[in-house]
């Protein structure tokens, strides 16, 4: 008959296995969604006009849809909508990335490398810490609204070094979101894999855009 210590060790091993399975599932989904973004950017590299706004709206609709589908157990639909988020966002920024590819190709690689290092470091911290950071959610929500408001004001009012301030503030906020989402991943079950993958993907996408803005002198 197994002892208490053996049962405890067995339970810990099962928990670790489940945690690793969820981590692998989430990061696999994130990688595939990033691939969809790259595909979308290539497809839409020559788009012009106001199509980008419609594509951003379509991506936002997919985000709401995948959360709804995931909450009701429709995992395959949620995964399809997650890939739709990546594809639509890639198409939305495709023309901008094409401009960088022609005028400042090195900036694209620098932004991608900086994004990988930034997200990797903060994500590792968020996943490693034993603290439950769910209390950050409300603060991050209001910080994101403040960032959006600052961006709108910056469209109409000339703010000294406004682009740099906006980019640095965006990196700070989405850096905190990265820590928060990887902390959620540490405690997640397989049922919440798709929404968490969406959150981490959006962190990566926004960090990349802010890195591009900072390194490219505001072209984006």
Q: Are 207 and 122 in contact (CB under 8 A)?
A: no
Tell whether the torsion through CA atoms of 144, 38, 63 and 88 is positive or negative. positive
C-beta neighbour count of 169 within 10 angstroms: 16
Q: Tell me the C-alpha distance between 166 and 154, whole Å.
A: 9
Q: Are 30 and 197 in contact (CB under 8 A)?
A: yes
Smallest CA-to-CA distance from 196 within 44, 23, 13 is with: 23
Q: Are 203 and 119 in contact (CB under 8 A)?
A: yes
pLDDT-derived band at 48 (thresholds 50, 70, 90) equals confident
C-beta neighbour count of 74 within 10 angstroms: 16
| 189 Rama sector, left if φ>0, alpha if ψ -120 to 50, beta otherwise | beta
Provide the pLDDT for residue 6.
41
Give mean pLDDT, residues 134-139. Answer: 94
C-beta neighbour count of 97 within 10 angstroms: 22
Give mean pLDDT, residues 104-121. Answer: 94
Provide the pLDDT for residue 86.
97
The residue ranges of every structural domain in the chain are 4-215
Q: Tell me the C-alpha distance between 91 and 40, whole Å.
A: 4
Strongest mean pLDDT among 33-42, 43-52, 97-106, 183-192: 33-42
Q: Tell me the C-alpha distance between 199 and 220, whole Å.
A: 22
Q: Tell me the C-alpha distance between 49 and 27, whole Å.
A: 34
Please provide the average confidence, as pLDDT, over all residues in the chain: 89
Give SS3 for 7: helix
User: Could you please report the per-residue DSSP string of 15-34?
Assistant: HHHHHHHHHHHHHHHHHHHH
Provide the pLDDT for residue 81.
97
Provide the pLDDT for residue 188.
87
Give mean pLDDT, residues 16-37. Answer: 92
pLDDT-derived band at 15 (thresholds 50, 70, 90) equals low
Q: What share of the chain is helix, strand, coil (3-state, %, to 5)?
A: 85, 0, 15
Flag whether pLDDT at 13 surpasses 60.
Answer: no
């Amino acid at each position: 008959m197994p002892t208490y210590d053996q049962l405890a060790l067995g339970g810990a091993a099962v928990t670790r296995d489940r945690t690793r399975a969820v981590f692998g599932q989430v990061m696999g989904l994130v990688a595939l969604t990033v691939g969809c973004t790259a595909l979308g950017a290539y497809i839409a590299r020559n788009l012009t006009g106001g199509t980008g706004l419609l594509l951003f709206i379509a991506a936002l609709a997919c985000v709401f849809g995948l959360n709804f589908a995931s909450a009701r157990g429709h995992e395959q639909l949620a995964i399809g909508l997650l890939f739709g988020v990546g594809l639509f966002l890639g198409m939305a920024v495709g023309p901008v990335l094409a401009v960088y590819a022609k005028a400042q190709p090195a900036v694209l690689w620098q932004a991608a490398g900086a994004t990988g290092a930034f997200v990797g470091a903060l994500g590792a911290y968020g996943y490693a810490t034993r603290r439950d950071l769910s209390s950050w959610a409300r603060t991050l929500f209001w910080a994101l609204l403040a960032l959006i408001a600052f961006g709108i004001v910056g469209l109409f009012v000339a703010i000294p070094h406004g682009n740099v301030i906006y980019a640095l503030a965006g990196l700070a906020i989405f850096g905190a979101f990265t820590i928060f989402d990887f902390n959620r991943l540490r405690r997640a079950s397989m049922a919440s894999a798709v929404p968490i993958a969406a959150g981490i993907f959006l962190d990566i996408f926004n960090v990349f855009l802010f890195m591009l803005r900072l390194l490219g002198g505001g072209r984006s």
